[in-house]
Structure 1
Amino acid sequence: MSQGSHVISIFNPQSAEAWKLSPLNNYLIIACSFIMIVVVGLLIYVTIKFRAKAGDAEPKQIYNNRTVEAFMIGIPFLMVSFFFYQTVKVMNETEPTVQGQVPTVVITGRQWWWQAVYPGTTVVTANEIHLPAGKKVLLQLESQDVIHDWWIPSFGPKMDMIPGVKNYLWVTIGKPGVYEGACSEFCGKQHAWMRIKVIADSPADYQQWLLNKSKAALPPADTLALAGAVIFNKKSCADCHSIRGTPAQGKSGPDLTHLASRTTLLAGMMTNTKEHIKRFINNPEGVKPGVRMPRFIFKKDTVNALVAYLSNLK
């Protein structure tokens, strides 16, 4: 299926929720522009009309002008009331109750990557999150460590991810494609490289994706990859990472069961290539400063075997 990327902007709504928020955004921009024009216009008018001239007396002082006071109080009151009504209305439309609802995906923010677990399946992935287009889906948003914030501008609402708290977002994606966002709450050293990538599939493609990603990891395809699998499970890799169908069942790092099927590495920091995998294994801190993965001093042959194994995990 051909998937196109979309402009990352609140002015490019691509979900039912974003379309409902869009008029409110436009109203707010119009109101702010009106206030700016009035304030700047009055400032220019007063500056020119009442500029000091030689021999000027004290300007006439005006007190208790009820007409001016009514405008100064009435117009802001009406604007605030209007936006309060519109905000409550849109919140009720975009944030219906979640009681008794099973989330489509549970997304956990971590320093500095996203874990995605699909309830009712064995699918666990990281950073690239698949969702069905044209269907109303429920995201359960959590945090493992600090406060993160899930936001894809084209989807409209964003939501904080707070340790110990389960927050929710409804999303109805308009059409298949690739939608990008980022963590919008400062969460540490690599906050800038905590990108979000949602791939919206047609319902049929989404079910096929779930079926494929429910499977265990492929066995090593050659002797070099087989050697990499042995090294992966003997070294500390398996203590942090999980690969379904193997002894590796670590939980603190991203699930690598289908790593080779992802297009990017390190939460969108670089493309998924053998060379980039090798660079990261050789020097994690040098590639992504602050990353939790320690640097192992592996021999060249060991690194090549690990890369061959990881590149086989489709």
Structure 2
Amino acid sequence: MTKGFTIHATVFLSLSIFDPASVEASKLLNLTNYFIIAALFILLIVVALLVYVVIKFKAKPGAEEPVQSAGNKKVEAVMIGIPFLMVVGFFIMTVDTMREVHPEIASQTPDVIVTGHQWWWEARYPGTGAVTANEVHLPVNKKILLQFASSDVIHDWWVPELGQKMDMFPGKTTHLWLNIKEPGVYEGVCSEFCGAQHAWMRVRVVAQEWDEYQQWLLQKDQPAQEPATALAQKGKAIFNRSTCGNCHAIRGTVAQGQSGPDLTHFASRPVMLAGMMPTTEENLRAWLSDPQAVKPGAHMPRFIFEQDSINALVAYISGLK
């Protein structure tokens, strides 16, 4: 417990390229393993030669300087030829893997559009009204196209178990093909330093079976739920008459801001602030009371609300599922 809020204690031990969960990650791992084997082979040869030279040519008392030799063309040919053939082989394998993992993009609509912001992720699903933040849902056993962009600085999408990184640039789009093999939750990060809260710009990819994924899309396509209590209704009124809606959108209401995370289904996400802490009323209350105390450098301004107004806002936002 720190300053009235609970930090999310997840340790990212699962961030490993050696446990691939997508077709693309498996192909990249195969290439990586070849590189590791080749590197170990060269290491063993160097160590063996080093030991051999040290033992064979160790100085002995009274021994004369050994005969010097130079210009052995056979040794030079082997020393140059083998590395050259290895480089050529790896070049061919790398190009072949690149073609398989990252084929050309046809003129098709991406399945998901991911935008990087300081310091959170936005995911939109073309053809639907579904929008989410820091939690990207994708179907398994289906080749899908992700489109990336940045709203401010350079970011870098990286979910190690799902494959390669992808840079995200302001004013430019990049793409990534992805075919996830198994349902599950896969943790990712921004791997390009992007400012004060770079370390807390994390993302969760939730891979689901097709039917479950379609149900999730349908649910996230719906407008926000109406407040269920008088306190939550008060919170909605405060949210709408304040400047909250200038940055945040809540579909079905007058709030249509685009610079902050979409809050339409905020409470359905298990973690908040890009993976920093669990989505609880306690943490939400601390965030609304003093954002800079929770996440220093964040672009969320501090509003001087009375405590009863904060309680009303918490009741309203916590009901957005």
TM-score, scaled relative to structure 2 = 0.92
Match of 2:136 in 1: 129
The counterpart of 1:291, out of the listed 285, 294, 298, is 298
Counterpart CA distance in 2 for 1:189 and 1:52 is: 58
The equivalent position to 2:274 in structure 1, one of 258, 267, 284, is 267
Partner of 1:45: 52
Q: Distance in 1 between matches of 2:261 and 2:306?
A: 24
Q: Secondary structure at the match of 1:160?
A: strand
Verify: 1:63 aligned to 2:48, yes or no: no
1:202 positional shift: 1.0
Is 1:97–2:104 an aligned residue pair?
Answer: yes
Aligned partner of 1:204 in structure 2 is: 211
Question: What is the one-letter code of the residue matched to 1:273?
Answer: T
CA contact (8 A) 1:149 1:183 kept: yes
Cα distance in 2, alignment partners of residues 149 and 112 from structure 1: 12
Aligned to 1:108: 115
After superposition, the Cα gap between the structure-2 partners of 1:61 and 1:176, relative to the gap in structure 1 and judged at 3 Å, is same
Corresponding residue for residue 182 of structure 2: 175
Of residues 11, 19, 32 in structure 1, which corresponds to 2:18? 11
SS at 2:176 equivalent: strand
Q: How far is the alpha carbon of 1:246 from its aligned partner?
A: 0.8
**In angstroms, what is the RMSD of aligned CA positions?**
1.6
Residue 9 of structure 2 corresponds to which residue in structure 1?
A: none
Contact persistence 1:6–1:179 (CA under 8 A): no
Q: Sort the Cα spacing of 1:133 and 1:6 in 2 relative to 1 into closer, same or farther, 3 A.
A: farther
CA drift at 1:93: 1.0
SS in 2 for 1:96: coil
Alignment deviations for residues 149-205 of structure 1 (CA, whole Å, 9 cap, x no partner): 111111112211111111111101112111111111111111111112111111111
| 1:6 Cα deviation from its structure 2 partner | 9.8
CA distance in 1, matches of 2:319, 2:81: 67
Runs of 5+ consecutive residues of structure 1 not aligned to the other structure: none
Whole-angstrom distance in 2 between the partners of 1:230 and 1:55: 97
Aligned to 1:117: 124
* Aligned-pair CA distance for 1:44: 3.4
CA contact 1:112–1:190 (8 Å) conserved in 2: yes
Q: C-alpha distance in 2, partners of 1:54/1:192?
A: 60
CA drift at 1:307: 0.6
Structure 1 residue 55 displacement after superposition: 4.5
**Aligned 1:228-243 pairs, distance under 5 A:** 228-243=235-250
Distance (whole Å) between structure 2 residues aligned to residue 40 and residue 282 of structure 1:
61
Any idea what the Cα deviations from partners look like across 1:269-295, whole Å, max 9, x if unmatched? 111111111111112111111111112
| Alpha-carbon separation, structure 1, partners of 2:293 and 2:173 | 34
Q: Which runs of 4+ in 1 moved over 6 A?
A: none
Return the alpha-carbon distance in structure 1 between the equivalents of residues 183 and 14 of structure 2: 14
Q: How does 1:136-151 map to 2 (within 5 A)?
A: 136-151=143-158
**SS at structure 1 position matched to 2:132:** strand
For these two proteins, the number of residue pairs brought into alignment is: 310
Quote the Cα distance in structure 2 between the aligned partners of 1:245 and 1:230.
Answer: 14
Q: Which ranges in structure 2 are unaligned for 5 or more consecutive residues?
A: 1-11
The answer as to 2:23 corresponding to 1:23 is no
- Could you tell me how far apart the structure 2 residues matched to 1:299 and 1:53 are? 87
Structure 1 Cα separation of the partners of residues 67 and 147 of structure 2? 63
Bigger Cα displacement from structure 2, 51-60 vs 173-182: 51-60
Determine the structure 2 residue equivalent to 1:311.
318
The separation in 2 between residues aligned to 1:97 and 1:116, in whole angstroms, is 22
Supply the distance in 2 between the matched residues of 1:99 and 1:192 (Cα, whole angstroms): 34
Instruction: Work out which of the residue numbers 162, 167, 176 in structure 2 matches 1:160.
Output: 167
Q: Distance in 1 between matches of 2:114 and 2:73?
A: 55
Over the matched positions of the two proteins, sequence identity in percent amounts to 59
Distance 1:52 1:290 in 2: 63
In 2, the alpha carbon distance for the partners of 1:150 and 1:196 equals 9
Q: Quick one: which of 195, 198, 215 aligns to 2:222?
A: 215
Point out the more displaced range, 91-100 or 134-143: 91-100
Q: Normalised by the size of structure 1, how large is the TM-score?
A: 0.94
Secondary structure at the counterpart of residue 264 of structure 2? coil
1:41 deviates by 2.9
Residue number in structure 2 paired with 1:256: 263
Per-residue deviation, residues 249-288 of structure 1 (Å, max 9, x unmatched): 1111100000000011011111111111111111211111
Number of the residue aligned with 1:189: 196
| Structure 2 CA distance for partners of 1:297 and 1:46, relative to 1, 3 Å | farther
